[in-house]
């Protein structure tokens, strides 16, 4: 297990000047509250996957890729994120879900629930995702935190969801989101899955909300799937600036999460399934496998090599299952065997410092 904040001085030295040079300030959203005292993460949070999680987002809409029923999602995807929840009118902070039956060829609520149950019978997990590019859910006070927790739990009981995915891309209050998630866990129990899909900017400084949430609620978070796309260049844990679309971008930025206290099994790499699924940052699956090799075993690295082999990561995420379907599910068919297989034998760490 990695102790919290072993590299806090290094990470906190990402200076304002360096961020400004990289052109990062305009995209950032500082957290509203200072972080609480750190707690050592628990040994396990939610469920675990033998080979690792292959997370895919399922579209509850037709965006021109293709439409699918949950029952059509290949078994390679053992974690399905339903995109997305909606705001519950009249309930600040509350969420609901409205199946887009008309856009999905007449897919009914009964069929949707049956497909979720069938996926779960195979050992797979299904979570409801909150946010996305167009989603705005505000949790900024105790009332909204309570409403978020209560309505999320209502959806879990109604549809059978195993948990919630936080994909808020327009600002988040770390203090009250943590309060909401802890309240939800008190209702749902320790098997609750809590996943997150922060953007790369969200871990560029310890004052940012997602960083604070991961740091303060690491004992209940299952998986953090960073979106390594639609990003531009960002700072790595070594304070170098890395361009999206490269192996180094994945490894040097994932290093931030691994060094700030998250366990390796809580860290996932999020990439688009095909070039058309994102505005930028697509990488072929072979690059993702190289990044896994580098982070887990310090082999197949690019210019950046981590100071240690971290061991098995939590997995890989993609936007999205639907986009992957347009390419014959080549993303899943390439990544799943790597997740299920053994990582390469670790290379010895350097005698000192970080490359």
How does the average pLDDT of the chain come out, rounded?
88
Question: Residue holding tokens 């770390």?
Answer: 174
* Residue 169 bears catalytic tag: yes
Question: Residue holding tokens 């509850």?
Answer: 60
Instruction: Work out the pLDDT band at 169, boundaries 50, 70, 90.
Output: confident
Contact 305/254 with Cβ under 8 angstroms? no
Q: Domains in the chain, start-ordered, CATH in brackets?
A: 8-340 (3.20.20.80)
Statement: the pTM of the whole predicted model exceeds 0.85: yes
CA dist., res. 221 & res. 223, Å (int): 6
pLDDT at 308 over 50: yes
Catalytic one among 144, 169, 215, 308? 169
154's tokens: 């209502």
The per-residue pLDDT for 9 is: 40
Examine residue 210 and say whether the peptide bond preceding it is cis (omega within 30 degrees of 0).
no
The per-residue pLDDT for 245 is: 98
Q: Which tens digits make up the pLDDT trace of 233-256? A: 999 999 999 999 999 999 999 999
What are the beta bridge partners of residue 168?
Answer: 132
The per-residue pLDDT for 174 is: 98
Task: Find the mean pLDDT for residues 287-300.
Answer: 98
Long-range contacts: 91-94, Cβ < 8 Å, 24+? 91/147, 91/151, 92/138, 92/143, 92/144, 92/147, 93/137, 93/138, 93/139, 93/140, 93/143, 93/144, 93/145, 93/146, 93/147, 93/148, 93/151, 93/180, 94/147, 94/148, 94/150, 94/151
The per-residue pLDDT for 350 is: 58
Higher pLDDT, 173 or 14: 173
Please report which residue ranges of 123-264 form alpha helices under DSSP H.
142-159, 174-188, 209-216, 247-259
Contact 140/147 with Cβ under 8 angstroms? no
89's tokens: 């009118």
């Amino acid at each position: 297990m990695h102790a919290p904040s072993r590299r806090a001085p290094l990470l906190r030295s990402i200076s304002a000047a360096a961020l400004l040079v990289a052109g990062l300030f305009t995209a950032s959203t500082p957290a509203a509250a200072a972080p609480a005292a750190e707690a050592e993460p628990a040994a396990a949070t939610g469920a675990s996957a033998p080979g690792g999680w292959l997370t895919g987002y399922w579209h509850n809409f037709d965006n021109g890729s293709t439409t699918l029923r949950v029952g059509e999602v290949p078994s390679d995807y053992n974690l399905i994120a339903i995109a997305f929840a909606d705001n519950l009118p009249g309930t600040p902070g509350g969420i609901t879900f409205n199946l887009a039956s008309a856009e999905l060829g007449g897919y009914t609520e009964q069929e949707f629930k049956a497909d979720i149950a069938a996926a779960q019978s195979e050992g797979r997990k299904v979570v409801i995702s909150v946010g996305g590019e167009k989603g705005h859910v505000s949790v900024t006070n105790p009332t909204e935190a309570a409403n978020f927790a209560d309505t999320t739990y209502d959806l879990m009981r109604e549809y059978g969801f195993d948990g919630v995915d936080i994909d808020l891309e327009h600002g988040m209050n770390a203090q009250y989101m943590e309060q909401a998630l802890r309240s939800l866990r008190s209702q749902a129990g320790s098997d609750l899955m809590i996943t997150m899909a922060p953007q790369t900017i969200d871990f560029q400084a310890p004052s940012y909300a997602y960083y604070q949430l991961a740091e303060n609620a690491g004992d209940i978070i299952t998986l953090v799937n960073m979106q390594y796309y639609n990003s531009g260049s960002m700072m790595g844990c070594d304070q170098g600036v890395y361009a999206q679309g490269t192996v180094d971008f994945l490894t040097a930025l994932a290093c931030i999460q691994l060094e700030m206290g998250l366990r390796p099994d809580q860290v996932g790499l999020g990439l688009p399934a095909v070039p058309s699924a994102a505005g930028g940052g697509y990488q072929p699956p072979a690059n993702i496998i190289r990044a896994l090799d580098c982070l887990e075993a310090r082999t197949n690295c690019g210019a950046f090599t981590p100071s240690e082999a971290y061991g098995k990561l939590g997995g890989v995420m993609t936007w999205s299952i639907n986009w992957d379907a347009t390419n014959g599910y080549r993303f899943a068919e390439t990544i799943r065997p790597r997740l299920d297989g053994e990582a390469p034998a670790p290379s010895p760490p350097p005698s000192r410092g970080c490359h």
